[in-house]
Chain A
């Protein structure tokens, strides 16, 4: 097994720059997820790691070996594709064995590996079927089996779950995580689904327009986003962004919000950013819906919690919680409340603004303050 170092990798197709200098250092055995919107370059980066695309500049190292210009087959990498990419003319057994046969492994050894992999993924009864006779989830397992059989140094997953239905996707997600815990192999996994990223990753690299915006653990990325893009991309429902004015009371800072004609001061914890340079100016307040709740006595006593009456515009029950859409500073703002506490559209409701985890962004640069 080996770690992976991506050193200032750039990739251009003619005048189109897809990757504009990517630096990632992935220790041995880590599960890293590349996440970002369509066209951010995450799949291109994965293809570069696999050697399917030649990088324009920069280096790719596996362990201590420079693999920048190595052929895909010499990199000891296995990849699972979104479309599964099973060989349609071969049955499942041959699909799994193909890579081993190419490497001229003895027949008996191949049989043993295929049987072990099939047992691990519970596809023993499918070994003699053709890919066209399998369901989406079964194909997914076979595709994973094929990459497992070669026992590669690094696994690459290219949106492996996006062709599955919602229920199966959650099941396979858990299975991939179990598999990683069992094998401990380095995994680089591309997805555009931020829930997948949060649940699976040891670390997440959030990408946008050919740059890595932030590379950190799921909790870091969620609680401590580097900029407005990361904050808005991670989390569902997404973070509320409100344009607010910063005020000062002695040593303490607060931001001002308006709801239904009244103005409220929300005190800001110092740990969440130094607002001293912004007094009297506007900043973007980023606050997640779960920090805006119905009135709960034990929360209400918190130092940075303020009760604000708001007018309910729309309610969206999700079962566990109800999302209440309201208007703060003339911008839409979503709150997450207990279903029993949610009022009807048009009614007023008291919402607790908990600023413990609020984040602030510069209006110009959109970076964290």
Chain B
């Protein structure tokens, strides 16, 4: 009796015991700091005052300033440039990744030979970190060592490809590297979606007289709407959070030409020590991700209930 009681006790307490450090750490270091960041974005208190626990005269009175920092942020040209860059990068990155991924997935779905090998090749960039991708593409795109030099060396002396040092074009090099990294992943998602479609639907459409093109455009792709939605959400939050790829590829430059909100936030917080601006921009990014993820999670969870 005692023994069974004790083992019941362990069964009951062990999961809670194992999970509690994680919960505690998550609560403090993720949700706690989200809260502090939010607080920082609406108050006028230097960060160090809040954290200096050794200071006996901690002043817990915050000067509440409302949305002043937000107004200031949106009056900042560099922030608006970063937002514009995010817009260009986000739209092109998500759009082209989906198109390329879908085309590859449809091609791979035609019962071709060596499909497994090709799938692996397309998926491999995903195994690299964005830092590696950024560094590799920095070399490839560098006019003095990369593609431009190669083309000139083999005889095309007038060939130029210097987008990475051109402030007007540098953001598009980020798009290229991002697509290279992520389109294989999108392809895998779409391929899984295509495999879920009953082959007799395709046969039925063929008998109905539809060409292979209209089978895909009128039946298969429209019925993969949930897959598109999942791919969009995953790509969108990669885009909003994009930091490491750009740091490795261009460092935000030339000048501020490839600045995005994440780099803006990092530089204002940690190199300029303007914590209020950093926290405010971080909150805007959080809201952006939430605006995409919350409807997604809502629809997913509702789907599970049904």
Contact = CB atoms under 8 A, between A and B. Distances in A.
Contacts of B15: none
B217 to A, nearest CB: 11
B23 interface: no
Residue of B205, B208, B223 with most partner-chain A CB within 10 A: B208
A81 B204 contact: yes
Contact of B206 (A52, A83, A150): A52
Contacts of B204: 79, 81, 85, 87, 146
Nearest to A149: B208
A73 interface: yes
A99 B223 CA distance: 18
B198 A83 contact: yes
Given A88-B223, A102-B214, A81 B208 contact: no
Contacts of B218: 98
B209 A103 contact: yes
B207 A77 contact: yes
Given A52-B203, A79-B203, A102-B214, A85 B208 contact: no
B51 to A, nearest CB: 55
Contacts, number: 59
Interface residues of A, number: 24
Contacts of A146: 204, 208
Interface string B242-266: 0000000000000000000000000
A47 B218 CA distance: 23
Interface in B205-232: 205-210, 214, 218-219, 222-223, 225
B207 A72 contact: yes
Interface residues on B, range: 10 to 19
Contacts of B214: 102
Interface string B180-210: 0000000000000000001011011111111
A86 B207 CA distance: 13
A133 interface: no
A89 B219 contact: yes
Given A79-B203, A87-B219, A89-B219, A73 B208 contact: yes
A197 interface: no
Contacts of A77: 207
B205 A82 contact: no
A226 interface: no
Interface in B38-64: none
A151 to B, nearest CB: 13
Given A79-B203, A87-B223, A89-B223, A99 B208 contact: yes
15 contacts: A47-B203, A50-B207, A52-B203, A52-B206, A72-B203, A72-B206, A72-B207, A73-B207, A73-B208, A85-B198, A87-B205, A87-B223, A89-B223, A98-B205, A150-B208
Interface of A: 47, 50, 52, 72-73, 77-79, 81-83, 85-90, 98-99, 102-103, 146, 150, 158
